[in-house]
Structure 1
Amino acid sequence: MTTAAIVLAILAAFVLGLAIGAVVRGKRRRRQRPQQHGPTVADLVHEVVQSGHNGVVVLGEFGDVLLYNTRAAELGVVTDNRVDSSARTTAERVARTGVTEQVDLTPQVPQAGRAPQAVLGEVRRLLDGFTVIDVADQSDTVRLEATRRDFVANVSHELKTPVGAMALLAEALLDYVDDPAEVHRFAGKILDESNRLGRLVNELISLSRLQGAERLPELQTVKVDEVVHEALHRAALAAESHRITMTTDEDSGLTVDGDHSLLVTALANLLDNAIAYSPEGSGVSISRRESGGYVEIAVTDRGIGIAREHQERVFERFYRVDKARSRATGGTGLGLAIVKHVAANHGGSVRLWSQQGTGSTFTIRIPAVPVQPPAPVQLAEHEGAL
């Protein structure tokens, strides 16, 4: 073989090797799965199901649990990999008819340490006899509706009482029109009931305003001492009629960002409450201080006190510890609720300490206005020269 033939043979073998290598690499690339970057669609779907606020349960055609998330177990729909019997019966019916149904899945026995729930499920048919149950906790909605019904019922009752009383008193007044003494007596009672009705309407308006029906005014710097003095002035007549002595500490110079009128109303409500539940001849005191960046205004009485089981609820609307005593003193049952919302709308809170037979202390805590350090004195150039 000549030299040229050898060179051509080598070149041909090299080209053939390149071609075979390219074919092999192509087949190998086709056999290899493309490299994944990030989560797959299946990963995302699984995460959506597991992180959802609602419970999700997927059932097979025989009612067996194929998939469920943690929320479904928390709501009691799935226990030990078995679905609630009501949900399973509904799912079997939906699988046959294809009609979506609602089912009440509220646990019959409340779980330990948790409030009773209101759980509602929606059962839908999927493909080939599979079904999915979408479970939602409706507890907050049910509680809100119950609160609304109670509020409407309480308002209706509270309004009906003075209105009915005034109607009866007016009839009695007409019967004794020729007796000046009786006319004077019944007229005084009518005045008392009308004042009570007026207080109730005003406090309902205030409470509605505080709960967001009306925008609060722009907050301004309020002097705490002025709030205390005005609240004491408002409560002076009630204190005098009950022979209650009101005392207070020295002016503090403290300030808060707030609404002056609302803060006076809240503090006056606490004073009225303390006076109403204190024995005649006792004392009610107000103190104020700054603690941890908050201004604290405390109203202390030496009255009958509040039992521990009532202390959590005294700030609820229309809640009364002693209904007979509250009606006798003309209370509306809204005063402490207003105090709570005034404090909350100022970024603060109200707390209670009480012991039966000893008395009670209600403390309003409002963020204090930080004290600005005095500006440094600028010296003239010639004064600073040496």
Structure 2
Amino acid sequence: MEKVLDVMMLGQVRFHELSMRGRVVLSQLPFNVMLLLVCAIAAIADASVFTDPGFLIGQGIALVILILSFALPWDRLPYGLFLVLPILDFVPIGILHYSNADSLRGLNLLAVLPIMWLAGSGFRPRIMVPIGGLASLLIVWVPHFIDGTATPRTLAAEVLIPFMLFSIGIGTSVMTLSAMAQQERVEELLRRSETRERLLDTVLETVDVGVLVLDEEGQSAFMNAKQRQLYVAALPEGVPTDREEALLVFREGSEDPVPPDERVLRRAKAGETVEHEVFRLGRGAEARTVSISARPFDDAAGKRAGTVLASADVTDVVAAVHARDKFLAAMSHEFRTPLTNILGYAELLQDEEGLSPAARSDLQIMTRNARHLNHMVDGILAAALTGDEAAAIRLPLDLSELVRQAGDSSGPEAAGRAIMLNVSTDGPLPVLGDRTGLVRVLDNLVSNALKYSASGTTVTLTAAAEGRWAVCTVRDQGFGIVAEDLKRVFTRFQRSDAAVRSGVPGTGLGLALAKEVAERHDGELECTSEVGVGSVFTLRLPLRVPPTWSAPKR
């Protein structure tokens, strides 16, 4: 009953939240309240109606109907049976209208309440709405048949109000059906939304990636289990804290904590987008290395609604990379020591005066192959270098000079293979770089061009300025690279099928390392090739200052 009163007073409870009995009572109650108002009006307008049997019978029947609405267990009865009550309401209305039409006019308009109940129930409207219209028509026609005044003229005169009530019923039914369809659609959308939310929660709890969602105020709105594990790893030992700046967050390879302003969480709250930055959380054996990304998101209105942080645990990956690099470095050093001894003793033996020409030739072959093997070991060692070992000091250099030196160094090899090596530079090309790394790149490009070119062909080495770039090209007339192999020409330990078939020795590291060096210098290394025509490797490095001179080509 309290809920019924709350609905009537427009409180917190809504009509659809009531039990079936509560909804039936609340639907019947307005009719009985209107009959109480009729009694009040009758007391003022004509108190004699209280002695009229019809008035008393009508009020009594209405009271019995109200009691039935309270008494019957509508929740256990078949749905729709409650519509018997509004149909019964037409009985007291008809009796009151027949017995008191002269003293209390308009009593037949009370039929609007049961008609709205029938039409607003949404239960079989094609039957209930006509029943309500017919009942309202009988209220005004039956008295004429009882009194013997039923003529076409008198009956036609009473049609307007029943037709108006019938129209109200149709309008109510249309609005009710529309509201029910909308409610069903909303409920379906809510079910789908809830299903998707549960699916999303399950996915976020299942994936091996930490996810943290911040609302528009920067407060944590969601954190999955993986993110909680990473958060625990970053907590100082034995010191629980909610302060982000107190967490143990380090750059990979450093023992200095990341300053609060440089931490991803603080930057994400400021609206910054972060892509795959690597940090170490915590110290010791329990520390975790994570790759963190952060991106803000907007709501449907285009306003910022919050930020999502994703933390991928890459501890095992980083450990595997470090183990691989250490292995390569150790193996390279183990090879270097005996190779150095072989080269040293081979050079000493070549100085012996009593060597026969055949022995001297054998020593030269041994020396040449040992040097080639040493060059391969240098490539493997370079591939193993990471972090600070790979970082080089950048100094002002002239790319044109380095290109000329690369041509001079490769001249004897080109001459020995009967290959013409043309070198052309377009004035000084000032760049900022690591001399050792760039010399290695140029030597590798020229050496590759010579290795994969036949005798009698030409290798062209040029250097020129193009806009803000210093550009070096190495063009050969070799057998070229097919399109499929061209896609992976800069991949470590990858060699084209043609190179393997040719029998030219190599590790597949040179071009990959050359590209890495170019990118560390904020430059580019590209390759174009045509089978049977040759290949062109293009190295681009940013000019240190725009050239303002023009010098003759050499």
Alignment of 1:365-380 (within 5 A): 365-371=540-546
Residue 351 of structure 1 aligns with which residue? 526
Segments of structure 1 that go 5 or more residues without pairing to the other structure are: 1-38, 56-134, 171-177, 375-386
Q: Say yes or no: does 1:304 pair with 2:479.
A: yes
What is the rounded CA distance, in whole Å, between the counterparts of 2:228 and 2:540 in structure 1? 35
What is the rounded CA distance, in whole Å, between the counterparts of 2:458 and 2:322 in structure 1? 36
Assess if the C-alpha contact under 8 Å between 1:317 and 1:334 holds in 2: yes
3-state SS in 2 of match to 1:253: coil
Residue 470 of structure 2 aligns with which residue? 295
Q: For the structure 1 residues 355 and 52, does the alpha-carbon distance in structure 2 shift closer, same or farther, using more than 3 Å as the test?
A: farther
Q: Of the candidates 364, 367, 372, which is equivalent to residue 188 of structure 1?
A: 364
Q: Of the candidates 255, 261, 278, which is equivalent to residue 436 of structure 2?
A: 261
| 1:272 alignment partner AA | S
Residue 243 of structure 1 aligns with which residue? 418
Q: Of the candidates 476, 480, 488, which is equivalent to residue 313 of structure 1?
A: 488
What is the rounded CA distance, in whole Å, between the counterparts of 2:517 and 2:481 in structure 1? 22
What is the rounded CA distance, in whole Å, between the counterparts of 1:320 and 1:155 in structure 2? 24
Assess if the C-alpha contact under 8 Å between 2:328 and 2:384 holds in 1: no
| 1:240 alignment partner AA | A
3-state SS in 2 of match to 1:295: strand
1:208 deviates by: 4.5
What is the rounded CA distance, in whole Å, between the counterparts of 1:204 and 1:151 in structure 2? 11
1:158 deviates by: 12
1:338 deviates by: 2.6
Residue 271 of structure 1 aligns with which residue? 446
1:139 deviates by: 8.1
What is the rounded CA distance, in whole Å, between the counterparts of 1:315 and 1:138 in structure 2? 28
Q: For the structure 1 residues 152 and 262, does the alpha-carbon distance in structure 2 shift closer, same or farther, using more than 3 Å as the test?
A: same
| 1:189 alignment partner AA | I
Deviations 1:118-161 (A, max 9, x none): xxxxxxxxxxxxxxxxx98668955984896599589969988x
What is the rounded CA distance, in whole Å, between the counterparts of 2:218 and 2:430 in structure 1? 56
TM-score using structure 1 length = 0.51
What is the rounded CA distance, in whole Å, between the counterparts of 2:519 and 2:442 in structure 1? 14
Assess if the C-alpha contact under 8 Å between 1:206 and 1:338 holds in 2: yes
1:278 deviates by: 1.0
Q: Of the candidates 218, 228, 235, which is equivalent to residue 403 of structure 2?
A: 228
Q: For the structure 1 residues 326 and 273, does the alpha-carbon distance in structure 2 shift closer, same or farther, using more than 3 Å as the test?
A: farther
Assess if the C-alpha contact under 8 Å between 1:159 and 1:197 holds in 2: no
Q: Say yes or no: does 1:200 pair with 2:379.
A: no
Once the two structures are aligned, what percentage of the paired residues are identical? 26
TM-score using structure 2 length = 0.37
1:219 deviates by: 2.4
Assess if the C-alpha contact under 8 Å between 1:282 and 1:302 holds in 2: yes
Assess if the C-alpha contact under 8 Å between 1:54 and 1:136 holds in 2: no
Cα root mean square deviation, aligned: 4.7
Assess if the C-alpha contact under 8 Å between 2:431 and 2:470 holds in 1: yes
What is the rounded CA distance, in whole Å, between the counterparts of 2:450 and 2:548 in structure 1? 40
3-state SS in 2 of match to 1:331: coil
3-state SS in 2 of match to 1:299: strand
Q: For the structure 1 residues 41 and 269, does the alpha-carbon distance in structure 2 shift closer, same or farther, using more than 3 Å as the test?
A: closer
3-state SS in 2 of match to 1:370: coil
3-state SS in 1 of match to 2:221: helix
3-state SS in 2 of match to 1:194: helix
Deviations 1:296-352 (A, max 9, x none): 111111111112222232223332224875895443433212311221221112111
Q: Of the candidates 264, 269, 283, which is equivalent to residue 458 of structure 2?
A: 283
1:242 deviates by: 1.4
Residue 26 of structure 2 aligns with which residue? none
1:257 deviates by: 1.3
What is the rounded CA distance, in whole Å, between the counterparts of 1:228 and 1:40 in structure 2? 56
Q: For the structure 1 residues 332 and 179, does the alpha-carbon distance in structure 2 shift closer, same or farther, using more than 3 Å as the test?
A: same
1:216 deviates by: 0.9
What is the rounded CA distance, in whole Å, between the counterparts of 1:258 and 1:52 in structure 2? 41
Q: Of the candidates 219, 235, 243, which is equivalent to residue 395 of structure 2?
A: 219
3-state SS in 1 of match to 2:432: strand
Q: Which has the larger radius of gyration?
A: 2
Segments of structure 2 that go 5 or more residues without pairing to the other structure are: 1-213, 231-309, 347-353, 550-554
1:294 deviates by: 1.5
Q: For the structure 1 residues 324 and 247, does the alpha-carbon distance in structure 2 shift closer, same or farther, using more than 3 Å as the test?
A: closer
Q: Say yes or no: does 1:360 pair with 2:535.
A: yes
1:261 deviates by: 3.5
What is the rounded CA distance, in whole Å, between the counterparts of 1:225 and 1:43 in structure 2? 53
Deviations 1:173-208 (A, max 9, x none): xxxxx9956544543332223112221233344444
Assess if the C-alpha contact under 8 Å between 2:477 and 2:533 holds in 1: yes
| 1:353 alignment partner AA | T
Deviations 1:340-371 (A, max 9, x none): 12212211121111122121111111111223
1:290 deviates by: 2.6
Greater helix content: 2
Deviations 1:255-309 (A, max 9, x none): 1111333322211210100111111111111223333422111111111111222
Q: Which protein, 1 or 2, shows the higher relative CO under an 8 Å CA cutoff with sep ≥ 6?
A: 1
Assess if the C-alpha contact under 8 Å between 1:210 and 1:216 holds in 2: no
Assess if the C-alpha contact under 8 Å between 1:258 and 1:346 holds in 2: yes
Assess if the C-alpha contact under 8 Å between 2:431 and 2:544 holds in 1: yes
